[in-house]
Chain A
Amino acid sequence: MKFKTKKKEIRRIDLSSYWQLVWWRFRRHRMALIGGTILSLFLIIALFCETISPYEPHARNSKYTQGRLMGVHLFDQDDNFHFRPFVYARVNKRDPVSFRLNALVDTNERWPIYFFVKGDSYKLWGLFENEIHLFGTEKGFIHLFGTDQLGRDMFSRILYATRTSLSVGAIGVFFAFVLGLTMGGIAGYMGGMTDELIMRLIEFIRSIPTLPLWLAMAAALPREWSALKVYIAVTIILACIGWTNLARRVRSRLLSLREEEFILAARLSGCSARRIITRHMLPSFLSYLIVDLTISFPYIILAETSLSFLGLGLREPIISWGVLLFSAQNVRSIVHMPWLLLPSLFVVVAVLAFNFLGDGLRDAADPFAK
């Protein structure tokens, strides 16, 4: 008994020094840290979007359609400082020439912004009833990112879309990961005919241009399906095409590992195949897997965004960044409402953040590299 605990202790120390090395190298990679911070922010947004956003994503503000971004001020036009930030009131005036209702800034009235304010009620994660929003106004309204043609608050919609886009990414990556790991694992471990077959399959999939494939598969989804079903189907489609890279990595790693001596030693001491794979082979390329995961995320997110932009992916009432960009499909809308392009900023930042993080992880995971 004593002997056993001693072994465990020593192993923990060994393990900790490897991970300590990894963490230390990671910290030195500034961009990776920035990426990680941004992604954590996104995660918080995704988790608490109901609370952070001032409005419900489908709520329409008929008083402020196609509205521009509303600027937050601390100083009013007379240069007085107000402790509480505010937005100027908007008043609707009918344009005498075009008879269109325009929302004009009224600098005489201020709508102060309050924090942790009571707003529309919502259910956090569909479970907990709540009314507190992170910020909002008591009279009037605040649309930080403007509104769309129907008067829906872009800021709130983008926040809710973050949750959808990230979750689609996560689930897609997860499926791709499972599929890739299984296929690559089988190919790498079995070798021979199985390996050949799987490799041919992978090559075949890779030789087809991906977008037409996605488009075709997405177009195959019946129109009548509920938005939720479409959501799941789209993630599966994305995963089905994305697993090939991971499978190749896993397979090549396994193939080279098979010849390594410590595997031979394990085999000679009588370990079963499963034990060899899980306890001996897997930990050595765990780091590569983590990096691959992080790098796969942005591709899935970009793919979903492209699909939904075309109208072939997710649809209303489920909103993702791509779905939001669907309204920006033609140039005319953008000319009038350029803020409809704001979701793409989030896409770009998310993709960059994942890439930086992945770069940092890759450098850190190889503590023996120069």
Chain B
Amino acid sequence: MGVPPLGCVKRSHPMTATNIDTAAPTHSPDRHFKYWIIAPAIFLLLLIGIFPLIYTLIVSFQHITMSENDKAFAGFRNYAHLFTDLRLWQALLHTVIITVMALPLELIFGMLMAQLFLDRMPGRQIFVSLLVLPVMISPIVAGATWRLMFDNRYGPINQIVGWFAGHPVTLLWNIRPDLVYPAIIFAEVWQWTPFMFLILLAALSNVDRSLTEAAEIDGAGYWRIFFKIVLPAIWPVMAVALLIRGLDLFKIFDMIWALTGGGPGTLTETISIYTYIEGFQQFETSYTGAIAFLVVVLLTVLVTWAIRRMGLAK
């Protein structure tokens, strides 16, 4: 709907009930009010939204490294290097592995937990309050905690595994390539399943019970009702939760930094960790610019696709 300019003649306008432009006399000091109040926020958002993009792009076409500071146009050499950088593509692969493993697990466990707490249950709020604690902890603290938990000798995890195995075990969670991913995903799922749980519990509570009960009377089975009635009803909320978590997983840094530091070797290096190492430890400034730009492009494509696919655009 068109916005009448602030200085325009006021008139009653029933169609724009949420627009107070038309509601009252306008004073001259108020003329640019709507721009004054939006300007500081927009300025700051440009600082983190547009400036980094442009600056990264410029730097990525130069040749700045730890030893050189060549600001001349260097063409596409940094971008060409992206294609031959095996470590970059491995980092991307690690990120994808963690995302596609952790996200469905968080969703499924979150859904099961939500189902468990959905019905009347005295004291439910106490359980929910306790269960949601991991979400509020800093990921760096969560990673540190799991680093202590997974310690091969003094950590409780090996002790507990030992109970089930029937004999003491010394699993090197941070070192063995076949165990380090389960460790990361376990920690990740531990921290963020409650996030899914809390949102799904709220969404499921809002589903109109008369619909499901009517379907039940009509003889529809549990799964049929779930997929035909419950899932479509909670889908908008679930899609947002998946989007938030999917994006956060793609950007994952803190938790892994604390838990494995990207190791053993570079085996658990994610794209964010690799970008950090190139930029702040190797000081490959220009090349980091190219990586950062690639990440932003990938993420933009991914988000646009996800939003379209999930029907969130409406």
Whether A associates with B in a native complex is no
Write the residues of chain B forming the contact surface with A, with a CB cutoff of 8 angstroms.
none
